[in-house]
């Protein structure tokens, strides 16, 4: 079981919609819980028309990266909660500036008070 902190970029099983199954994709850790939960915002290569988003590129990484051929989008209005053991792997870490621009857009009601980030 890994330890993750706010700003880590991970690969995890993520379902983007209620009717779609989980798909392995990148996600940004925005918080952690006391019982090994990881709160994630999924990353998509296509900008959603119905949701808040923050664009990211390779320049937004302080370490590691993703196989990005253009801009991708952090879906800030879709916060998912998984167990840390479900994370497949870590791909990098975002810069502090990028993390801040994402956290501004995430609804505070979706972030736990006890965030271990």
In a domain, 2, yes or no: no
User: Higher confidence at residue 100 or residue 69?
Assistant: 100
Give the domain range for residue 23: 8-108
In a domain, 3, yes or no: no
In a domain, 116, yes or no: no
Angstrom distance (rounded) from CA 61 to CA 49: 25
**Domain containing residue 29: CATH number:** 2.30.30.110
DSSP for residue 111: S
In a domain, 114, yes or no: no
In a domain, 1, yes or no: no
Per-residue pLDDT at 115 = 45
In this prediction, what percent of the chain has a pLDDT beyond 70? Answer: 91
Average confidence score pLDDT of the chain: 88
Task: Please state the domain count of the chain.
Answer: 1
In a domain, 25, yes or no: yes
CA proximity to 106, closest of 4, 6, 2, 5: 6
Q: Would you say 9 and 62 are in contact if contact means Cβ atoms under 8 Å apart? A: no
Per-residue pLDDT reduced to its tens digit, 35-90: 889 999 999 888 878 778 999 999 999 999 888 767 899 999 999 999 999 999 99
- Cross-strand pairs, 79: none
> What is the value of pTM for the model shown?
0.88
Strands 89-94 and 53-56: unpaired
């Amino acid at each position: 079981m890994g330890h993750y902190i706010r700003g880590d970029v991970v690969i995890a099983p993520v379902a983007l919609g209620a009717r779609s199954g989980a798909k392995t994709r990148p996600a940004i850790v925005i918080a952690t819980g006391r019982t090994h939960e990881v709160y994630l915002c999924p990353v998509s290569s296509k900008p959603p028309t119905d949701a808040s988003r923050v664009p990211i590129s390779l320049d937004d990484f302080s370490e590691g990266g993703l196989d990005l051929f253009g801009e991708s989008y952090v879906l800030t209005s879709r916060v998912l909660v998984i167990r840390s053991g479900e994370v497949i792997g870590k791909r990098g870490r975002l810069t502090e500036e990028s993390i801040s621009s994402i956290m501004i857009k995430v609804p505070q009601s979706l972030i736990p008070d006890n965030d271990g980030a």
